[in-house]
């Protein structure tokens, strides 16, 4: 396979290059920023590109991967990350020809090479921990889509720690109207009133989970 690597850590980038070349693959491009990686992919037309999710420029790995996947034909992308990033990841992993692994999975060389070949062939390879986090984020985002714009606005202010009175003042509403919005939010999020009375906290956690990453 012809491969471009986008990774800001020189040590990891060169180590990965050596690993791939020892397995008979050709590393045709090495980039320390996402923008450079995108340019190399556009110019070199590799079979697959390996990208770090977090890169030291404005166009981070996720954004670079989305741009590359929008090309016709798209280039298969293998994302590597130290930690799971949920921001925009759900949108990416549903597109096919994508891999998303935590970096420590590379230590299992045979499994990593198998995952890379699968992605290059148009398949998908997702780390189990990535799947768990992305499913949680997708569920939370889907739930929030059922809220009205005003309810989302109220919930966002709740997440910032604002009281009902402060929210009412900020949105030029009566406190009773704010309470009605909050009651509707609880209902739409499926949060039944319980003795511990922590529905507000659970609603805020759902909001933060949907906005995580």
Q: Which of 94, 95, 101, 13 is nearest to 53 (CA)?
A: 101
Cα 86 from Cα 120, distance rounded (Å): 23
For 90-136, what is each residue's pLDDT tens digit? Answer: 556 655 678 888 888 888 898 899 889 988 988 878 777 766 666 56
Among the listed ranges 32-41, 43-52, 131-140, which one has the minimum average pLDDT value? 131-140
Same domain, 35 and 101: yes
Same domain, 106 and 187: no
* pLDDT-based confidence at residue 204 (cuts at 50, 70, 90): confident
Same domain, 113 and 158: no
Please determine, for residue 159, whether its predicted confidence score (pLDDT) is greater than 90.
no
Same domain, 65 and 133: yes
Query: Are the beta carbons of 2 and 29 closer than 8 angstroms?
Result: no
Structure confidence at residue 17 (pLDDT): 96
Domain count, the chain: 2
Q: Which residue segment(s) compose the domain that 205 sits in? A: 146-210
Please determine, for residue 21, whether its predicted confidence score (pLDDT) is greater than 70.
yes
Which of these three, 79, 111, 138, is where a domain ends? 138
Among the listed ranges 6-15, 24-33, 47-56, 92-101, which one has the minimum average pLDDT value? 92-101
Same domain, 15 and 98: yes
Same domain, 30 and 46: yes
Give the pTM. 0.63
Same domain, 120 and 167: no
Cα 158 to chain centroid distance, Å, stands at 24
CATH number for the domain including 62? 3.40.50.2300
Element (H, E) at 6: strand 2-6
């Amino acid at each position: 396979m012809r491969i471009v690597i986008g990774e800001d850590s020189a040590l990891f980038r060169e180590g990965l290059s050596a690993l791939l070349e020892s397995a008979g693959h050709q590393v045709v491009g090495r980039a320390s920023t996402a923008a450079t990686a995108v340019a190399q992919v556009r110019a070199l037309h590799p079979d697959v590109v390996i990208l770090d999710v977090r890169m030291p420029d404005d166009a981070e790995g996720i954004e670079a991967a989305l741009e590359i996947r929008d090309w016709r034909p798209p280039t298969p992308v293998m994302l590597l990350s130290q930690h799971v990033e949920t921001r925009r990841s759900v949108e990416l992993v549903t597109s096919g020809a994508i891999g998303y692994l935590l970096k420590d999975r590379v230590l299992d060389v045979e499994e990593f090479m198998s995952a890379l070949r699968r992605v290059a062939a148009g398949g998908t390879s997702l780390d189990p921990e990535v799947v768990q986090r992305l499913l949680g984020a997708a569920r939370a985002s889907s739930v929030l889509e059922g809220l009205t714009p005003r309810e989302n606005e109220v919930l966002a202010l709740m997440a910032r720690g604002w009281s009902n009175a402060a929210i009412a003042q900020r949105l030029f509403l009566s406190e009773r109207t704010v309470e009605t919005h909050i009651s509707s939010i609880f209902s739409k999020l499926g949060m039944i009133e319980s003795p511990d009375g922590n529905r507000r906290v659970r609603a805020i956690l759902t909001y933060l989970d949907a906005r995580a990453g």
